[in-house]
Structure 1
């Protein structure tokens, strides 16, 4: 694909953090009870394409981000085996995204795109790792997995807000700060200012990840200072307000695109890094973050690109995070390195025609509870705690009717296919960690 630079779209890839499958109005969120939670995202979906069978590469944050950055299964890199990277990786020269590895931003940058990450990184810490070492020209945000929205301190109490690789002491509610920085970037990339050079903006919110604080909850920062996981706090109303703040900020970015005449030829993609957590709405799915049941890995996928994508579309095409990375690389006229081929498959034909479908087997594994999963066609193979299950997902989205005893041949075929795939990726290292961020015993039973 050798599209002239001036015709290639700008790309804004928006990632929410721990958002549930049905948290947005356009995915069945409970707007009637809580008010309009996501009007901007609902409008983007109505004006573009909504995927109903799209997945994250992992049910936990940093492994999905490894897949996003590389367009490859996260298991191929050592850092992607931790579930997720946590504070023990500070100073590690191993647990992070290797700077020498080709990435989505580095490939797009080499193809002539301006690149920026505004928001969460969570792929290793300086001096060995950082966004600037992996293809981004600009970075503003936290390096770790979760920070307080006002003090910007991580779970170990250290301040974690950076501009480039320099720590940035700055006041403000983090969601709004991320949104405003994104607006500034879009304005600076306007055709007159950037001579028509296309841009790639990774807009990675921490919302609605704990601690559960809204724009008005500054006083809570002192309360969560010594317990950023906020085990005793939060409620459904706060959670929805946090989503709404993110949605408002996305609206500011869309307005900036409109005012600068860039909206029509900008591809906006929205998703979550994994399924929802304590206050999320995953209906009709079960499970959540850390689970390979549908609630842990099925996530919203919205694509809006007025120049190409017809409005009002819905697709049941199966896909996962790394497929979108492969899509964007193709769109930019770039390609994978020969010795590091993509596992992701481009979805560009689906963006051009919502009715286009192709078979796409998907695979997952988790050290946590010895989980494994495979989805192909209507069927899903799942193992949890040593027990194997077979589900027909369209007929049983809540994964309640185990068909393994009724269709043993299909179960065996899918189990063998998963094991053949597993043999193609590195084994889980013995020192890989599972870090829930809290103790399971402290959480309400689902």
Structure 2
């Protein structure tokens, strides 16, 4: 059992931990060598939707939100300032569960109904034949990516696996619609839909009272129907209840706490709403901020429970969001595409506002408290990392994993790799109108450089994120060699994965890969 000696000495000096508790932790760890893992995933939470500073210096948005438990987690763990997901939900969640990049697994947009497209119509481009049915644990379902899911491997490692909240892995009437079919022992709230029709218990979370009403009603919460329990709170209570079985059986557990918050609809969470109205936020932004704080309370409740059960020392907590913050107004208040400043744009975009997300990891026996990593990482990295945390080595999966474990970073936050390339691919029209970085884009980051490829115009943009985090200064004309280099890397990788490109109806041909397009 490894202990962070500096962390222990500080705790003892401050009177926050005793030798008896330390010995108790050691004994518990000997009884259960594998650490418990809590993956706390938030929906649509932006990089700045928190009082934890992920940007250097003070920002206006940091003062807007109140997330004391995220602050608590960051003080006890490691903050990642360059963590990335995909621009919308299902691609992120499939990457998480398979270890594949979205351009590789081809679930490149959000999913719902079997074999039905969700793409908006476009006068120039037609989307490719993507995996509209999501992921699948069996190879007989058309238009899915067949893969060995993360929880299936964790179960083989002896973990009790719990799914709470949003799933959004597979379309209706496909196996991955139900998290129980991809390796979870317990499922509460997870089904094919990616959002609730309402967070309100008074409205039965979108169901007819006492029964599940697809596609938008949240399942498995009938005991709260007709009550004033907000959805975020109901899911938290069910998560804590579900932990009783593995604790009693002394089994390591994997809790996937996957909140619907802070996705629309912006329902009123009356526990927190008034304080934000008194701050002067408009009605919609006050509701959004209340959703954020309700999510933060859930995090605190789970952390408190782990401490109460003396499980804190042997539990890893990973906090992440599935994409950047929503920046459409309405439903958000204020001017559109300003809600994630200093990052540009928001959800659905390949600008930083749509893909850079808050991330924190706590592991008391390994991670230096209040540490910070600036190394860029990607959502598919969670798959190999969580398996390495569990102690599972030489595992077999039907898919070849794209993710790279960030386990070494947990031990040494100073590690850097500027040669690695991150890839994003969104060959779709997400919203009816074109907006900053949204609709039919691909992108690559290597080191501080980021290239964005517009599939409609076949033009490229180049940014230096170290000097220009807001992506305000396109350097493509000044650094043509860098454009060519990144275009080659991006295009070759997409080609290797056989990543699908849209069809240009005007030119009557498939849109070329970025390395096949010459600069002006």
The structure whose Rg is larger is 2
Deviation at 1:284, TM superposition (A): 1.3
Q: Secondary structure at the match of 2:369?
A: coil
Aligned to 1:173: 230
Match of 1:38 among 42, 60, 67: 67
Q: Deviations over 1:137-168 (max 9, x none)?
A: 110114211111123239x97452223xx988
Q: Deviations over 1:236-274 (max 9, x none)?
A: 111111110111111111111001111111110111100
The answer to whether the aligner puts 1:60 opposite 2:132 as a matched pair is: no
Match of 1:205 among 234, 240, 259: 259
Deviation at 1:87, TM superposition (A): 4.2
Moved more, 174-183 or 96-105: 96-105
Q: Deviations over 1:301-342 (max 9, x none)?
A: 100111111101011111011112210011212244264221
Aligned to 1:140: 188
Aligned to 2:249: 194
Distance 2:224 2:80 in 1: 39
Distance 1:313 1:38 in 2: 18
Distance 2:342 2:269 in 1: 30
Moved more, 118-127 or 342-351: 118-127
Any conservation in 1 of the 2:113–2:133 contact (CA below 8 Å)? no
Any conservation in 2 of the 1:186–1:256 contact (CA below 8 Å)? no
Aligned to 1:399: 471
Aligned to 1:356: 415
Report the CA distance shift for 1:167/1:186 in structure 2 as closer, same or farther (over 3 A): closer
Unaligned regions of 5+ residues in structure 1, if any?
218-232, 432-446
Aligned to 2:367: 309
Any conservation in 2 of the 1:187–1:260 contact (CA below 8 Å)? no
Q: Secondary structure at the match of 1:326?
A: helix
Q: Deviations over 1:356-404 (max 9, x none)?
A: 2224210011113320100010100112342201111010011111111
Aligned to 1:84: 110
Match of 1:408 among 480, 484, 489: 480
State TM-score, norm by structure 2.
0.72
Deviation at 1:198, TM superposition (A): 0.8
Higher relative contact order (CA 8 A, sep 6+): 1
Report the CA distance shift for 1:338/1:251 in structure 2 as closer, same or farther (over 3 A): closer
Unaligned regions of 5+ residues in structure 2, if any?
1-28, 117-130, 139-146, 208-212, 272-281, 333-337, 430-438, 504-520
Any conservation in 2 of the 1:16–1:207 contact (CA below 8 Å)? yes
Any conservation in 2 of the 1:23–1:29 contact (CA below 8 Å)? no
Q: Secondary structure at the match of 2:83?
A: coil
Distance 2:267 2:398 in 1: 45
State TM-score, norm by structure 1.
0.84
